[in-house]
């Protein structure tokens, strides 16, 4: 039996707008994530999925409920919990190599050893030739590869990814999805991946968590049982995709109709699992 | 190469026209107290080591002024940068100090003169250090506290403001990504905030040095001063040596421009990433 690496217990979050109104972003959200799982969180924008990820990373305080990492409450950032951001996370004044080595450098590792390790991880993402380049010399896709290499170089126990491919063009995106899977299959780190894209979620995840519109709760947990690499032409793929898209559409519509988000009721019509 | 030559030529047109205009006006006015000839001023400038109106050479006066400016300036840098970083990063610090400092910011450095004189009088760094004779005394005694204070005030605010701005506009994701990689707050300051805000800080330092240099003349008009370009100008004015006034003005301009240029070259070399990063 694999261990629960992350336990999210009844977590809630409310944002206060400048006018003083309370916007509930997350409500009584509970989830258990097992070791080596690849989980995707999908949901309409504003459902609090990025907030949830930031709380798991220790970047956002957990006020209601609790988040446990291997049994310990997450109170502040921990280098065993790595994170890849959507964009602009590389230090523009550092070379690619020194960006990847940053985590080790922060831990007080001698510079030479940082660089040796960094090169290894750059090879993993196929960018060893660009080790002396600066981030502004790279394309968006290459930058995200560097960001992934940087997170991995710290050898985290779990990797949180906040729409890491969201700003990339469709082709690069598909390419990076493949690469990410290859890396994941090699080291099997636990990954929690937030995305807007249903296609991306189905292509990558073991389990897809579909969230409700704000306040975010779990609408449905879908286990994707297709073998990898997944074929987008597979009818199961298409069916799953349209099913999740329907759910999301329902969410967007209901959240627009709802007077307050709280009056929303769980529809309970989703049934069969693929 | 041809392009570089063209750039140089174009940038010289206005100065040359200006000198011609000066030359023409000086010929027409024909009164060296109102407007001295170009040749009178340039002969002073090409021999900067000559003794002028028994005040020492132009060069030695520039040197004295530079030391004064740098002393006040360095104190301003040492206080403004740490303070700016703290105020930029911790909003409590910002709230605590900002309104208070905001009241002082618009006060021109010159307005401090009466107070500064009342506080420091003619005390100098020599008084502070207790040295009473020798070469070192001569140097230290020309470093009046009042002047250094005026220059400090002038340089402090531009540096503080751009440091605060620089730190505040550091992309939050950079800080977050260092945090998840295991950075403590000391490392956040040294590895993220300081380098990320460096272009803005250095830009503020450049402006600050400019202002400090501009405050010089008013600082050197204070009593107790017997040297420096600012004093040279004031003194030359009282004895109607307008050509020395103009030579002093030109020296101030040239030294200020050279200091500025040094900063620009440094910025271009060091902060290429900032121009090129999206």
Least confident among A120-124, A233-237, B25-29, B266-270:
B266-270
Alpha-carbon gap: A81 to the closest alpha carbon of chain B (Å): 7
What pLDDT is stored for residue A258 in this prediction? 57
* Option in B176, B192, B278 nearest A136 (CB): B278
- Once rounded to an integer, what is the mean pLDDT over residues A115-132? 93
Least confident of B106-110, B135-139, B207-211: B135-139
> What is the residue range of B159's domain?
37-276
Nearest by CB: A88 against B173, B187, B195: B173
Residue A267 has pLDDT above 60, yes or no: no
Q: What percent of chain A has pLDDT over 70?
A: 93
Lowest mean pLDDT across A2-11, B11-20, B212-221: B212-221
From the list B182, B198, B276, the residue facing A107 with the nearest CB is: B182
Domain for residue B96, yes or no?
yes
Determine whether the interchain pair A92/B273 forms a contact, defined as Cβ–Cβ distance below 8 Å. Answer: yes
The predicted structure's pLDDT at residue A59? 94
pLDDT at residue B12 above 80? yes
ipTM (interface pTM): 0.87
- Interface residues of A toward B, Cβ cutoff 8 Å, are 54, 57-59, 77-79, 81-83, 85, 87-89, 91-93, 102-103, 105-107, 134-137, 147, 150-151, 154
Q: What is the mean pLDDT of chain A?
A: 88
User: Chain B partners of A79 at a C-beta cutoff of 8 Å?
Assistant: 180-182
Smallest Cα distance from A50 to chain B, Å: 13
B181 → closest Cβ in A54, A58, A79: A79
**Could you tell me which chain A residue has the CA closest to the CA of B278?**
A136
Of A87, A103, A134, the CB nearest to B182: A103
Mean pLDDT of B20-40: 88
Residue in chain A nearest B175 by alpha carbon? A89
Q: What is the CATH number of the domain that holds B198?
A: 1.10.3720.10
Do A89 and B174 make contact, defined as CB atoms within 8 angstroms? yes
Interface residue of B177, B178, B276 to substitute, partner A, most A CBs within 10 Å: B177
Residues of B in contact with A89 (CB under 8 A): 173-174, 176-177
- Contact A264/A258 with Cβ under 8 angstroms? yes
DSSP state of A137: G
Q: What is the pLDDT of residue B61?
A: 86
Instruction: Determine, yes or no, domain membership for B188.
Output: yes
- What's the rounded mean pLDDT across residues B101-121? 87
Is the residue at B233 inside a domain? yes
From B176, B181, B276, residue closest to A154, measured CB to CB: B181
Q: What is the pLDDT of residue B225?
A: 73
B174 and A93 in contact (C-beta within 8 Å)? no
Cβ distance A136 to B196 less than 8 Å, yes or no, reads no
A91 to B274: CB separation less than 8 angstroms, yes or no:
no
- Out of A87, A88, A102, name the one closest to residue B181 (CB): A102
B167 min Cα distance to partner chain A (Å)? 14
Interchain proximity A59–B196, CB inside 8 Å: no
Tell me which chain A residue has its CA closest to the CA of residue B178. A103
Task: Report the residue of B171, B174, B180 to disrupt the A interface, i.e. the one with the largest count of A CBs within 10 Å.
Answer: B180
Nearest CA in chain A to B180: A77
CB pair distance less than 8 Å for A57 and B183 = no
> Could you tell me if A9 and A65 are in contact, meaning their C-beta atoms sit under 8 angstroms apart?
yes
At residue A263 the predicted structure's pLDDT band, cuts being 50, 70 and 90, is very low
Average pLDDT rounded to a whole number, residues A235-241 = 92
Q: Which of A118-132, A257-271, B106-120, B132-146 has the highest mean pLDDT?
A: A118-132
DSSP labels, chain B: -HHHHHHHHHHHHHHHHHHHHHHHHHHHH--TTTS--HHHHHHHHH-TTSB-TTS-BHHHHHHHHHHHHHHHHHHHHHHHHHHHHHHHH-HHHHHHHHHHHHHHTTS-GGGGHHHHHHHHTT-BHHHHHT--SHHHHHHHHTSBHHHHHHHHHHHHHHHHHHHHHHHHTS-HHHHHHHHHTT--HHHIIIIIIHHHHHHHHHHHHHHHHHHHHHHHHHHHTSTT---SHHHHHHHHHHTT-HHHHHHHHHHHHHHHHHHHHHHHHHHHHHTHHHHH--
Q: Which residues pair with A64 in a beta bridge?
A: A12
Contacts of A99 (CB under 8 A, 6+ apart): A90, A91, A135, A146, A150
Indicate the number of domains in chain B: 1
Indicate yes or no: CB of B182 within 8 angstroms of CB of A57: no
Residue-averaged pLDDT of chain B: 87
pLDDT at A266: 46
CA angle, residues A170, A174, A179, in degrees to nearest 5: 145
User: What pLDDT is stored for residue B277 in this prediction?
Assistant: 67
pLDDT at B273 over 90: no
For A50-97, the pLDDT digits (tens) are 899 999 999 999 989 999 999 999 999 999 999 999 888 999 999 999
Nearest-Cα distance to chain B for A237, in Å, is 34
The 10s digit of each residue's pLDDT in A200-232 is 999 999 999 999 887 888 999 999 989 888 989
Q: Of A59, A91, A93, which is closest to B180 when you measure between CB atoms?
A: A59
- A77 and B182 within 8 Å at the Cβ level: the answer is yes
In a domain, B90, yes or no: yes
Is the pLDDT reported for residue B204 higher than 50? yes
Higher pLDDT, A24 or A66: A66
Q: Give percent of chain B above pLDDT 90.
A: 39
In a domain, B5, yes or no: no
Taking chain B, what is the end-to-end CA distance rounded to the nearest angstrom?
30
Does residue A272 register a pLDDT over 50? no
Q: Among all chains, which residue has been given the structure tokens 């799953």? A: A240
pLDDT at A268 over 60: no
Picking from A154, A174, A177, the residue whose alpha carbon sits closest to that of residue A103 is A154
pLDDT score of A271 more than 80? no
Chains A and B: how many Cβ contacts under 8 Å? 76
**Is pLDDT above 80 for A46?**
no
CA distances from B194 to A104, B52, B166 (A): 19, 46, 9
- Give residue-wise pLDDT tens across range B54-102: 677 888 888 888 988 999 999 999 999 999 999 999 999 999 999 999 8
Residue B32 maps to a domain: no
Give the whole-number percent of chain A exceeding pLDDT 90. 67
* Residue A262 pLDDT > 50: no
DSSP 8-state assignment for residue A208: E
Q: Kindly identify which residue of chain A lies nearest to residue B199, measuring between CA atoms.
A: A93
Question: Per-residue pLDDT tens for B141-178?
Answer: 777 888 889 999 999 999 999 999 999 999 999 999 99
In this predicted structure, the answer to whether residue A260 has a pLDDT above a threshold of 70 is: no
Whether a cis peptide bond, with omega within 30° of 0, leads into B143 is no
Task: Answer yes or no: is B27 within a domain.
Answer: no
**Does residue B58 lie in a domain region?**
yes
């Amino acid at each position: 039996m694999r261990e629960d690496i992350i336990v999210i217990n009844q977590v809630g979050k409310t944002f206060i707008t400048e006018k003083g109104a309370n916007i509930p972003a997350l409500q009584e959200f509970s989830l258990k994530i097992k070791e080596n799982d690849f989980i995707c969180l999908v949901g309409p924008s504003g459902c609090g999925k990025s907030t949830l990820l930031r709380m798991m990373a220790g970047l956002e305080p957990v006020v209601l409920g609790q988040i446990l990492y291997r049994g310990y409450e997450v109170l502040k950032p921990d280098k065993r919990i790595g994170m890849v951001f959507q964009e602009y996370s590389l230090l523009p004044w550092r070379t690619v190599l020194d960006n990847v080595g940053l985590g080790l450098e922060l831990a007080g590792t001698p510079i030479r050893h940082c660089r040796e390790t960094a090169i290894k991880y750059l090879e993993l993402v196929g960018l060893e030739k660009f080790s002396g380049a600066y981030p502004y010399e790279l394309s968006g896709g290459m930058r995200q590869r560097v960001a992934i290499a940087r997170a991995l170089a710290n050898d985290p126990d779990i990797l949180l990814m906040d729409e890491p491919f969201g700003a990339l063009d469709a082709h690069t995106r598909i390419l990076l999805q493949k690469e990410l899977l290859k890396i994941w299959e090699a080291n099997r780190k636990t990954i929690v991946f937030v995305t807007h894209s249903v296609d991306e979620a189905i292509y990558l995840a073991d389990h897809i968590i579909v969230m409700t519109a704000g306040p975010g709760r779990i609408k449905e947990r879908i286990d994707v049982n297709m073998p990898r690499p997944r074929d987008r032409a597979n009818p199961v793929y298409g069916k799953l995709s349209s099913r999740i898209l329907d759910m999301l559409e329902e969410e967007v519509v209901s959240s627009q109709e709802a007077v307050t988000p709280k009056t929303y009721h769980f529809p309970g019509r989703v049934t069969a699992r693929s | 190469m041809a392009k570089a030559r063209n750039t140089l030529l174009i940038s010289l047109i206005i100065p040359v026209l200006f000198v011609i205009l000066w030359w023409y006006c000086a010929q027409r006015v024909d009164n060296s107290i109102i407007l001295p000839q170009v040749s009178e001023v340039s002969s002073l400038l090409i021999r900067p080591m000559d003794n002028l109106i028994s005040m020492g050479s132009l060069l030695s006066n520039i040197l004295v002024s530079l030391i004064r400016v740098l002393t006040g300036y360095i104190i301003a840098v040492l206080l403004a940068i740490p303070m700016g970083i703290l105020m930029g990063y911790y909003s409590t610090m910002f709230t605590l100090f900002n309104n208070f400092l905001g009241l002082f910011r618009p006060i021109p450095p010159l307005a401090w003169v009466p107070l500064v004189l009342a506080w420091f009088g003619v005390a100098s760094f020599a008084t502070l250090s207790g040295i009473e004779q020798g070469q070192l005394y001569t140097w230290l005694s020309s470093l009046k506290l009042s002047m250094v204070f005026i220059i400090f005030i002038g340089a402090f605010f531009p540096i503080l403001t751009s440091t605060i701005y620089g730190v505040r506009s550091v992309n939050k994701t950079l800080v977050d990504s260092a945090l998840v990689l295991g950075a403590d707050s000391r490392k956040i300051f040294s590895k993220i905030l300081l380098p990320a805000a460096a272009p803005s800080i250095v830009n503020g330092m450049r402006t600050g040095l400019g202002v400090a240099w501009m405050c010089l003349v008013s600082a050197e008009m204070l009593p107790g001063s017997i040297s420096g370009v600012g004093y040279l100008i004031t003194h030359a004015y009282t004895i109607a040596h307008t050509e020395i006034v103009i030579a002093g003005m030109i020296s101030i301009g040239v030294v200020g421009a050279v200091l500025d240029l040094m900063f620009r070259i440094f910025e271009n070399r060091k902060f290429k990433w900032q121009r090129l990063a999206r």
